[in-house]
Amino acid sequence: MSKDNLHTLQQSAIELLKQLISTPSFSKEEDRTAEILTTFLEKHGVAVKSVKHNVYARSAHFDDSKPTILLNSHHDTVKPNKNYTLDPFTPIEKDGKLFGLGSNDAGGPLVALIATFLYFNQQPNLKYNLVLAASAEEEISGKDGIELVLPHLGKIDCAIVGEPTQMQMAVAERGLMVLDCLAHGKAGHAARNEGENAIYKAIKDIEWFQSYQFPKVSDLLGPVKMSVTVIETDNKAHNVVPAQCKFVVDTRVNELYTFEDILETIHKHVQCEVVPRSTRLRSTSIALDHPLIKSGVSLGRTYYGSPTTSDKALMPFQALKMGPGDSARSHTADEYIFVNEVYEGIELYVRLLEKIL
């Protein structure tokens, strides 16, 4: 494909991004953006399939005997930050920036990957198949997102997950485990020496969560981090010693521990009940000698460990998180992405894959 055709794809990607910005697509409400993506791909001769609000396609010369690379990003968004000064659903270009909800997270990475897929789609004799998946419910880690679509894609050997990383390579990602904790006491009247105060019991455990350090520290992701983020009792009256105290612990796990390891240590040290809401969002990493990483390094890309989670956590194969935009802009008021970031992202994705395909 010529440079002129690549430039045409870059321009088409920006126009598609503007359509996506103009169309609300909150998690679980992505039906309209799914239609936009389907129409766009079909106009480019792609045979598109969908499951719920997930849109996916195989490259034109797909060969079951070849390994497969998944190109994935999401088309759902969070709800607009209350501090927006611009209409979040009106794409505005100004000073090289494209403003709008989801422009940066993850509309820019998504349209860049779509353009990359189209660049290679009709090319015969590639060493790898390509599969494209625009997934739903990423922002809420919903079960009708990437987890739902993966079984429809066939065997995947590795993936590029489009998230705003300034086109640097996030080769590892912290896992997320949210813990619901419950300390038990005994109700009594606060004016008398009655009952057992569940708050005081909880405080001892909270102090442990605050001070304990897991010994294994990752070169890429640093230490395991536990943060108490919510605390409450069922009491409505000031004069009742609480019988229960609930608190929540946000636990960010590096790749050196499993969730089971973390839970085993916690249960040995605290008295409260501890129940994980989910053990789905596990820490992940991709080998530094993987062809995708070696290709990126040859292009001057750096690699790092990401503190945030993405759909990468739900993939049972190695995946590289990489995309145009900056995660610092995600979920902020007046979200934007630079148009040139999308253009350069497409070119870098293409060059990254050319070295492999």
Instruction: Write out pLDDT tens, residues 19-58.
Output: 999 999 999 999 999 999 999 999 999 999 999 999 999 9
pLDDT at 3 exceeding the cut of 70: no
Residue type, 11: Q
pLDDT at 1 exceeding the cut of 60: no
Percent of the chain with pLDDT over 70: 99
Angle 3-21/31-43 helices, nearest 10 degrees? 160
CB–CB of 26/6 below 8 Å?
Answer: no
Domain with CATH 3.30.70.360 in the chain: 175-276
Is the overall model pTM greater than 0.75, yes or no? yes
Please report the pLDDT score of residue 198 as a whole number. 96
Please report the pLDDT score of residue 2 as a whole number. 58
CATH of 175-276, one of 3.40.50.2300, 3.30.70.360, 3.40.47.10, 3.20.20.140: 3.30.70.360
pLDDT at 4 exceeding the cut of 80: no
pLDDT, tens digit (0-9, with 9 covering 90-100), for 42-99 = 999 999 999 999 999 999 999 999 999 999 999 999 999 899 999 999 999 999 999 9
Rounded CA separation 186/171 (Å): 48
Token pair of 225, please?
């981090």
CB–CB of 327/168 below 8 Å?
Answer: no
Please report the pLDDT score of residue 193 as a whole number. 82
- Torsion sign across C-alpha atoms 260, 262, 264, 266: negative
Instruction: For residue 54, report the phi and psi dihedrals to the nearest 5 degrees.
Output: -100, 135
Average pLDDT over residues 284-301: 97
Compare 2 and 165 and report the one with higher pLDDT.
Answer: 165
Average pLDDT over residues 175-179: 96
- Band (pLDDT 50/70/90 cuts) for residue 320 is very high
Average pLDDT over residues 117-140: 97
Q: How many CB atoms lie within 10 A of CB 210?
A: 11
Compare 193 and 339 and report the one with higher pLDDT.
Answer: 339
Average pLDDT over residues 271-293: 96
Please report the pLDDT score of residue 307 as a whole number. 87
- What is the pLDDT of the chain when averaged over all its residues? 96
- Under CATH, which architecture does the 3-173+283-355 domain have? 3-Layer(aba) Sandwich (3.40)
Please report the pLDDT score of residue 308 as a whole number. 86
DSSP string, 238-252: TTEE-SEEEEEEEEE
pLDDT at 310 exceeding the cut of 60: yes
Domain with CATH 3.40.630.10 in the chain: 3-173+283-355
Average pLDDT over residues 141-162: 97
Rounded CA separation 356/127 (Å): 7
- Residue 185 DSSP symbol: -
